[in-house]
């Protein structure tokens, strides 16, 4: 493990032309202080845990005191927001400090969110509030605990800086980590500005640093599109399987590496409701839970459009090649989602009736407003009675459960083995909105950050039985239904 000075900092993104980014320093906060430090994330960059106790840790992490290799910048991109193309977006409140190269040769972006205005802030202050910072810090770790590809968060910094939103709030910063923060919108920017030479440079950069095996493909750029299609299809299938709604699936919030990126007005399902809209700013329900797979296809079509100038040297036309690859998205998604849902039901073989069995369960869950996470965790036990008690229409459940038992019998399923497998697949704990709200309330009212660290530990092991956290495995309190989150969250 290393000290901060021993970390090997570099920034490969600065090898690209100046059109890709804007160099600038961070803007530290007033009386900034460490709120929480995430050791599992620190392990990824080989950072020793004692470093978080240093008096100058926050100054270094915030960019107030720089280290050799820091080359801070804001990345330029555009994107489709709520279906409409916005010509230039970019990192309006995030600054990439640099990259840490580990002894194993891995590179991790260290990006500071809430670090002040950039060239792309469009008149805004470039700050993040404590409320939204807590939400991203906790959810990125929750998603990782669930085994879903995501950015990570090394630490969270608080301050006395006042930030003006709907009301005055405390400013905060999040140090986010990812192998790359390149987005679909990064490609769109150079396509729509007709800078095709820069478009090629960006594609080459991603291939070189993240998919070097694609260099040997007949058309590496088509292979890159295929990689994005596969990664995105599998990612959204994973979201759907755990009941996660992103809330703002704009193309600039889609990672070229298939990571969950930019946690704003997200939400996990409580009762099963396929029409669930977690973002109260989404008045048309564009990003409702059940629309996420289709929005994934739309965003991939935006990426494919942006890559068209690089596909012209293949035998068929670029559009035909792109469309052929895009048609694979639904196949990837459906296959992975079906696989995940079979696993949630403890089914080891694939049979023709599986989709109907799953659809039937979802239908009766929706009708009786059954809690999605609790139901699947309860089914992971070896008795049906607890699951049956979650339904109002017991006869409807009995009907489904009879079909389920026949399906299990068809593969000679062993009850104990199945139960063990299901408990490793169906989480007992998810980050419900009310849980994040409890942490936010304590932090904002009393500067009490204990709930943040408490939830962080819980969410790192969501499949485990944790007696001290049993209250979080229960249905949410009645007041949870009044929580409203929007793009400012």
Q: How many residues does the chain have?
A: 489
Whether the Cβ atoms of residue 477 and residue 441 lie closer than 8 Å to each other: no
Contacts with 417 (C-beta within 8 Å, 6 or more apart), sequence order: none
Which residue has tokens 């929706």? 366
Active site residue 359: no
- How far is the first Cα of the chain from the last one, in angstroms, to the nearest whole number? 35
- 99 pairs with which residues across the strands? 10, 109
Cα separation, 363 vs 18, in Å, equals 53
Whether the Cβ atoms of residue 293 and residue 333 lie closer than 8 Å to each other: yes
Distances (CA, A) of 369 to 30, 372, 393, 396: 46, 9, 11, 13
Cα separation, 188 vs 194, in Å, equals 10
Q: What number of other Cβ atoms are within 10 A of residue 160's Cβ?
A: 11
- Beta strands per DSSP E along 87-217: 94-101, 107-113, 128-129, 152-158, 162-164, 168-178
Which residue has tokens 């990571």? 259
Cα separation, 67 vs 74, in Å, equals 18
Whether the Cβ atoms of residue 219 and residue 311 lie closer than 8 Å to each other: yes
Cα separation, 336 vs 153, in Å, equals 27
The radius of gyration of the chain's CA atoms, rounded to the nearest angstrom, is 23
Contacts with 409 (C-beta within 8 Å, 6 or more apart), sequence order: none
Cα separation, 313 vs 295, in Å, equals 29
- 33 pairs with which residues across the strands? 158
Of 109, 252, 282, 371, which is the active-site residue? 252
Q: What number of other Cβ atoms are within 10 A of residue 27's Cβ?
A: 20
Cα separation, 202 vs 195, in Å, equals 11
Residues with a known catalytic role? 252
């Amino acid at each position: 493990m290393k000290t901060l000075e021993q970390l090997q900092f570099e920034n490969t993104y600065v090898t690209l032309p100046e059109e890709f980014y804007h160099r600038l320093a961070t803007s530290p906060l007033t009386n900034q202080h460490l709120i929480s430090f995430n050791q599992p994330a620190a392990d990824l960059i080989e950072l020793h845990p004692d470093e978080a106790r240093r008096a100058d840790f926050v100054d270094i992490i915030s960019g107030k005191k720089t280290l050799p290799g820091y080359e801070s910048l804001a990345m330029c991109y555009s994107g489709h927001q709520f279906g409409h193309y916005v010509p230039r977006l970019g990192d309006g409140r995030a600054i990439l400090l640099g990259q840490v190269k580990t002894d194993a040769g891995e590179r991790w972006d260290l990006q500071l969110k809430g670090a002040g205005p950039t060239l792309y802030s469009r008149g805004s202050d470039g700050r993040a509030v404590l409320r939204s910072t807590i939400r991203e810090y906790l959810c990125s770790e929750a998603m990782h605990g669930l085994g879903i590809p995501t950015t990570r968060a090394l630490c969270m910094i608080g301050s006395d800086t006042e930030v003006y939103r709907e009301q005055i709030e405390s400013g905060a910063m999040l140090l986010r980590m990812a192998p790359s923060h390149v987005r679909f919108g990064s490609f769109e920017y150079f396509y729509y500005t007709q800078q095709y030479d820069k478009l090629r440079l960006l594609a080459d950069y991603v291939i070189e640093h993240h998919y070097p095996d694609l260099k040997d493909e007949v058309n590496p750029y088509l292979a890159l599109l295929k990689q994005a299609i596969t990664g995105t299809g599998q990612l959204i299938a994973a979201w759907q399987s755990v009941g996660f709604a992103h809330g703002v699936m704009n193309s600039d919030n889609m990672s070229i590496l298939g990571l969950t990126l930019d946690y704003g007005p997200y939400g996990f399902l409580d009762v099963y409701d396929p029409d669930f809209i977690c973002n109260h700013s989404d008045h048309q329900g564009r990003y409702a839970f059940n629309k996420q797979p289709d929005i994934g296809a739309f965003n991939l079509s935006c990426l494919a459009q942006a890559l068209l100038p690089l596909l012209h040297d293949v035998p068929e036309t670029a559009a035909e090649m792109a469309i052929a690859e895009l048609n694979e998205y639904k196949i990837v998604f459906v296959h992975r989602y079906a696989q995940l849902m079979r696993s949630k039901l403890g089914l080891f073989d694939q049979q023709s009736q599986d989709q109907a069995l799953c659809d039937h369960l979802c239908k009766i869950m929706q009708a009786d407003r059954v809690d999605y996470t609790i139901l699947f965790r309860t089914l992971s036990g070896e008795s049906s009675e607890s699951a049956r008690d979650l339904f109002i229409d017991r006869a409807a459940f009995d009907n489904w459960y009879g079909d389920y038992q026949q399906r299990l019998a068809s593969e000679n399923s062993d009850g104990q083995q199945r139960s063990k497998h299901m408990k490793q697949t169906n989480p007992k704990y998810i980050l419900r909105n009310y849980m994040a709200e409890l942490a936010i309330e304590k932090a904002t009212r009393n500067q009490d950050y204990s709930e943040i660290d408490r939830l962080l530990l819980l969410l790192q092991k969501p499949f485990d039985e944790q007696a001290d956290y049993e209250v979080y495995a229960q249905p949410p309190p009645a007041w949870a239904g009044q929580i409203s989150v929007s793009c400012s969250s």
